[in-house]
Amino acid sequence: MALKITDQCINCDVCEPVCPNTAIAPGREIYEIAPSSCTECVGHFDVPQCIEVCPVECIILDPQHPETPEELQAKYAALTGTESA
């Protein structure tokens, strides 16, 4: 499941540089996560790095983008050009 940033975001810019998939960028009003690029950090880290660093805990699972662990692994493989495990 991709993650999403809620309107609690204070635009602190801490999450953008820690995303291994460059899925995070400033949006019109708050930071946004591109669902097509977010793997929940699968393939890179054990836990979502953006959630780890966000000071206001405004990054949540996005029920609009349900994905299994296998699908996240496949997305990681597609994004990085590596073989899926």
Binding site for ligand SF4 (CB under 6 A): 3, 5, 9-15, 18-21, 23-24, 31, 33, 38-41, 48-50, 53-54, 56, 58-59
CB of 17 to ligand SF4, least distance (A): 10
Name residue 32's beta-bridge partners.
25
CB of 44 to ligand SF4, least distance (A): 7
Q: Which has the closest alpha carbon to 39: 7, 71, 63, 16?
A: 71
CB of 47 to ligand SF4, least distance (A): 8
**Residue closer to ligand SF4, measured from CB, 57 or 83:** 57
Distance CA 29, CA 75 (A): 28
Q: Count Cα atoms within 13 angstroms, Cβ side, for 45.
A: 13
